[in-house]
Structure 1
Amino acid sequence: MAMFVHLTSAANVPRIRRAGIRAASGGQGGARGVYCFPVLPSYTLTHQWLRELARFGSRGGLVAVHVRLDDGQDVLVGRYADRRLGAQDTVPAAEAVRRVAELEDPRGWEVFVPRAIGPREVHRIRTAPQVVGWRYQPNAHGVRPCTCFGCQVRGGYGARRLRERLPHPLDGPPPPVRVLLARVAAAGDPGDPAVLREALHWFGKRRRGPLAELAGLAAHPDPGVREELVWAVARWSTPGVTELLDSLAADEDPDVREAVEAVRTP
């Protein structure tokens, strides 16, 4: 029997004792299952994911749930980055333990069980120190953090101060609204397309925006400006966005129409 550890919120312990660990979405290819890691001789490596998972919050701290799986149980194994590439391998549980144990540096590796874990497969549940493991990524300590839109965690501890201290040249933080509107006004009539596209790029980093002041750009003669307008307002919660996108959905330029379709696709 192969032994793995699953880290979860302490608030889930009563349910796990009663019904096991339920499958959750997020696996390779959208699969549902349970993430875990082989129990290795090194306590630190076994619980390496603890600090990273703790960044996203937990009720009562995190606990370690040890589970026993049949050696022939198919699991996915690979680095976290391999999941996005669809490059994790399907192997028996015993083979997953062997692969990870033989690695010179298994940090960042994970095992995914493509099903729920039954209560009879739960071996034991115990508390775990909340300071074990790495954060963000292995060897991240001492490395300048990236503040691009893809890497930043909105609402994370110190995230706003970090973006202000280390602004990304393309992803922010965006200039104030009054500054962006002044750039739009200074672009002229109908307006320099390059200046307008840059301003709209920054408006797209916001959750709300001055829709009334920008709606006129839907009639700009440059289709690139109209397309950028679609991407800028698509995620705004400002009233009137739906109506503006409806009008742009019938734009004469196919790229603009495709942009509207893309932002409306779940």
Structure 2
Amino acid sequence: MADLVHLTPERAGRRILRSGVAARSRGSSGDSGVYCMPVLPSFTLTHQWVRELKRWHPGVLVAVRIRVPDSQPVTVGHYGAQPRQLTAAQAVAMVRGLADPRGYEVFVPRAVAPDEVRDVRRIPQGIGWRYQPDAHGRRPCACPVCLAPGTPGAAAVRQRFSDDRPNPKPELMAALRAATTPDEIVDALWALGGRRRGGAEELAYLAGHPDPEVRETLAEVLRSYRGAAARTLRATLADPDHA
């Protein structure tokens, strides 16, 4: 049997335990089914789609562990490429053998029966990548090609990152101080670091932030800052003993 994980809003958890996972998604050929990831040795890679899916499904997501026959026909591939048609066992083996399985997905072209559902578990909500693998540490592109109309949060991203709107620094700093979640802080930092600015000491309070992505984004943004304060902060963040 092939072990897979399907991510879904928490509110659907009880229904799934009773009735299984409905075939509500569309595959590359237009057939209905369920998107999953193989259970991998890495918990993070197994649940890598959490942060990206939360852009489209606000609220808490849960992981549905399912088990389908090894011979079950599925498609598997990177979300940006044409998938391959394999059996479930072959698809799991293929993804497990990849050096970098980020962005891969398995599509089961049918509903998942209740007796194929093993359990429904709550998982951390900050796992994985947003926008695309390797997007971390890069300023989001607000052009219509990279950020399609209708994308949840697109207006906010365009407002922050569009080169056509040079926000005043006081407005950008106010947005940063108002940010509460790591994702909001990261987005605000990118908006602030889009141009060379002074006053790096205003960002010093983030050097000890518990979220590593915030600290890494701060280090990247500080490259556009000048002055002693910026150099000190960059040295602090580069120190391997600093966390």
Band the TM-score falls in, shorter-chain normalisation? 0.5 to 0.7
Name the SS of the counterpart of 2:16 in structure 1. Answer: helix
Residue 126 (1) aligns with residue 121 (2)? yes
Give the deviation of 1:102 after TM superposition: 0.4
Stretches of 4+ aligned residues off by more than 4 angstroms: none
Structure 1 CA distance for aligned equivalents of residues 107 and 127 of structure 2: 21
Q: Does 1:55 align with 2:51?
A: no
Counterpart residue number, 1:73: 72
Q: 1:161 to 1:40 in 2, by over 3 A?
A: closer
Deviation at 1:13, TM superposition (A): 1.0
Q: Is the 8 A contact 1:10 1:58 kept in 2?
A: no
Contact 2:25–2:35 (Cα < 8 Å) also in 1: no
Q: Deviations over 1:188-220 (max 9, x none)?
A: xxxxxxxxxxxxxxxxxxxxxxxxxxxxxxxxx
After superposition, residues 1-266 of structure 1 pair within 5 angstroms as 1-59=1-59, 61-82=60-81, 87-152=82-147, 154=150, 156-157=152-153, 159-167=154-162
Q: Is the alpha carbon distance of 1:162 and 1:17 closer, same or farther for their aligned partners in structure 2, counting shifts above 3 Å? A: closer
Which residue identity does 1:100 align to in structure 2? V
Give the Cα separation in 1 of the matches to 2:51 and 2:159. Answer: 25
The 8 Å contact of residues 68 and 116 in structure 2, kept in 1 or not, is answered as yes
Shift of 1:18: 1.2
Identity rate, percent: 51
2:192 maps to none
Structure 1, unpaired ranges of 5+: 174-266
Mind listing any 5+ residue stretches in structure 2 that lack a counterpart? 166-243
C-alpha separation between the residues in 1 aligned to 2:83 and 2:9? 26
Following the alignment from structure 1 to structure 2, what is the Cα–Cα distance between the partners of residues 163 and 5? Answer: 33
TM-score by length of 1: 0.58
* Contact kept in structure 1, 2:7 and 2:36, CA below 8 Å: yes
RMSD of aligned residue pairs (Cα, Å) = 1.8
Whole-angstrom distance in 1 between the partners of 2:70 and 2:42? 21
Which residue of structure 1 aligns with residue 193 of structure 2?
A: none
Query: What's the CA shift string for 1:56-102, capped at 9, x where partnerless?
Result: 1244x0100000010000000000011xxxx2111010000100000
Q: Which has the larger radius of gyration?
A: 1
Q: Per-residue deviation at 1:151?
A: 2.6
User: Deviations along 1:13-47, whole A, 9 cap, x unmatched?
Assistant: 12101110000132102111000000011000000
Given residue 122 of structure 2, which amino acid in structure 1 is its aligned partner? T
